[in-house]
Amino acid sequence: MSINVEQAIIHSITQNSEGQLSCRLRPQPLLNSDAVEAMLEELHQTYTTKAGKGFGHFGTHGEDGETNPKFEQSLTAYRNGELGFVEFSGLAGKLLQEELSKYDFSQGGFLLLSCYTHMTSDYLYVSLLNAKSSMTVLDDMELTQNTHLDLKDVQLAARIDLTEWQADSDSLKYISFIRGRAGRKVADFFLDFMGCVEGVNTKAQNKELMNAVEDFVSSSELTKDERQQCREKVFDYCTERCDVGADIEIKDLADELADSGMESFYDFARGGNYELEDEFPGDKPTLRQLKKFSGTGGGVTLSFDGAHLGERVMYDPISDTIMIKGVPANLKDQLDRRLKGGQ
């Protein structure tokens, strides 16, 4: 086990035939059984490696400049020993029910809260899980339908780094959250019930890092191969940090490059007009642009490794054309077939 589960509980939020929501509270924590530990280990791993997460903090926002402070106040009381875990989780369940009642699209779900330790940090994981039906074959070969929690497709989840929050309350990224497929607006209620606002624009920070790296290799006396090696070194470092849920640290990254003979990246990044934090979360989809070029538009999708630019792939910005030498075999086969057909 990579995590140590301290407390976990599940509450149910359901909708009746009239569309009214109610919260059924569990009166005691879940037992620290093998099933509970296995579930939370799976959720932790899935969440840690989830790409495109947002980051925020307890704070103020909106036209009135205020968020709902009740969740933060309850969490503070729990951490100070003034509330038990069950009482805190029950207050959280009621807050989520109240927030959900403002919208028409929700049918409820199962609210999971868990405090656990990973490495040297304490975390609070908060998630609204859905249930799925499945079919099971019994010993007598009869079919029966049962319901299980959907752990593979979690779309509403947040994790609070309790250690960072209590050590540095001015941090803007101690809360992370999953950005739902349907867009930020649908997930707003989940952040609102916790009083969370977005603090660090992860994509913007990662794009700024890529700009700094490109400017760095362009201004250096590196060969073409060395420049590509630098980009790959940055990509490898950043993705490794993403995989373990750690922040990208500019000083640490600069030391990694220095070990490969590429000095002074830290001074370059800090001395330029780059709006880079010293530490920020990585964003894999953005970082992939260090190694690949890709784009879609007008019915055309194109993607290729950055190392091919100037060799197999020639780009002419004046004529707005790209020439590819060595067409991939499967694409060439499709093109040849179409040409033979008279196209």
Q: What is the DSSP string of 16-40?
A: -TTS-EEEE--SSPPP--HHHHHHH
pLDDT, position 164: 94
Query: What is the spatial distance between Cα 165 and Cα 30, in angstroms, rounded to a whole number?
Result: 25
Mean pLDDT of 185-206: 83
What is the residue-averaged pLDDT of the chain? 86
| Selection from 80, 283, 111 nearest residue 194 by Cα | 111
Mean pLDDT of 229-244: 89
Task: Beginning with the edge strand found earlier in the chain, give each strand of the sheet holding 121-129 in spatial order.
Answer: 21-24, 3-15, 109-118, 121-129, 157-161, 175-177, 54-58, 196-200
Cα first-last separation, the chain: 59
- Lowest mean pLDDT across 74-83, 140-149, 195-204, 289-298: 140-149
- What percent of the chain has a predicted confidence (pLDDT) above 90? 35
Q: Are 106 and 130 in contact (CB under 8 A)?
A: no
- What percent of the chain has a predicted confidence (pLDDT) above 70? 94
Mean pLDDT of 262-284: 85
pLDDT, position 270: 84
Greatest mean pLDDT among 41-45, 140-144, 271-275 lies in 41-45
pLDDT, position 61: 46
pLDDT, position 181: 57
pLDDT, position 278: 87
pLDDT at 128 over 50: yes
Query: What is the spatial distance between Cα 321 and Cα 314, in angstroms, rounded to a whole number?
Result: 8
| Selection from 40, 243, 23 nearest residue 124 by Cα | 40
Structural tokens at position 182:
């349907």
Query: What is the spatial distance between Cα 1 and Cα 3, in angstroms, rounded to a whole number?
Result: 6
84-108: pLDDT as tens digits: 999 999 999 999 998 888 877 667 7
pLDDT, position 1: 65
| Residue 251: φ, ψ to 5° | -65, -45
Query: What is the spatial distance between Cα 312 and Cα 305, in angstroms, rounded to a whole number?
Result: 10
| Residue 218: φ, ψ to 5° | -70, -35
3-state secondary structure of 69: coil
The H-or-E segment that residue 284 falls in is: helix 284-287
pTM: predicted TM-score of the whole model, two decimal places: 0.76
- Half-sphere exposure of residue 252, counting CA atoms within 13 Å on the CB side? 13
138-189: pLDDT as tens digits: 787 788 877 778 888 888 899 999 999 999 988 888 999 987 654 445 467 8
In this prediction, residue 78 has a pLDDT band, given cuts at 50, 70 and 90, of: very high
